[in-house]
A and B are shown apart, each in its own frame.
Chain A
């Protein structure tokens, strides 16, 4: 059953990707990208990564779509015809894709218990978490407590990105 769900989701992902490449109307591209994010969130759900799925649905399908539509509001909705031939980009993309697929052969099987990521620090967090922090959701405990300094850095990155965008856009703002 899980295999069937995965196959349907991945087929739809591939179909949407081809659609995004083929369609020249940018409004349709933005909507398709939102659908892509929702499908990706569903894939994360199947992989039991609920926190990542929630983030993907909220950021990828929600905020990104709104911001892309906001940018689209300021420009034309039809993509300009490409001025160069697509041979070299196609070669780069196919080459990168082939390397990534080759790389997946070296990965351990999905969900195996004796892989480095499940026996090393991950297992350590699972064993120590309840006694040390008392927080049942290990993801939250790792993000906010064990790796609190990393998360502070992430918040600082969001802060910096927000300030940068505001400074850039405010220069052109008409006072209303």
Chain B
């Protein structure tokens, strides 16, 4: 009998809720505490918990290393892309007021939403990538 049965069962129960909470923190960041940075760390913590309990190989099957390393620069590009979209729609770099046909409030909402997605992607993937790199070193 494995000695870590309780840990495995409890973490399997908890991990979906950790991801849901991460998404809540991300998408509710306009109204309550939170935002891309915190949500990214929470999502990364969910993956890292999975890797600690079920092993690095299982985690890499669920969240492949190549995908993580692709997402690290993608978040920065999303953020910078929103800035360029601001220029393309006739404003300054990272100015959201003119994004949606001059509807300032609407544009602000979309700008902030997309920018936070960019933060989430880079933060979460960077944390997971660093963890993979650390955890993979001791492996025979």
Contact = CB atoms under 8 A, between A and B. Distances in A.
Interface residues of B, number: 54
A155 B36 CA distance: 10
Contacts of B41: 55, 58-59, 62-63
Nearest to B80: A152
Q: Looking at chain A, what size class is its interface with the partner chain?
A: 35 or more
A148 B96 CA distance: 10
Interface of B is mostly: helix
Interface in B106-140: 108-109, 111-112, 115-116, 118-119, 122-123, 125-127, 129-131, 133-140
Contacts of B119: 151, 155
A119 to B, nearest CB: 24
B33 A135 contact: no
A63 B109 CA distance: 30
Interface string A125-157: 000000011111101110111001101100110
Contact of A166 (B48, B69, B94): B69
B138 to A, nearest CB: 5
Contacts, number: 144
A176 interface: yes
B139 A135 contact: no
Contact of A140 (B35, B125, B126): B35
A67 B130 contact: yes
A41 to B, nearest CB: 11
A74 interface: yes
Given A137-B31, A155-B76, A174-B140, A165 B130 contact: yes
Specify which of B29, B42, B109, B133 lies most central, judged by the most chain A CB atoms within 10 Å of its CB: B133
A149 B93 CA distance: 9
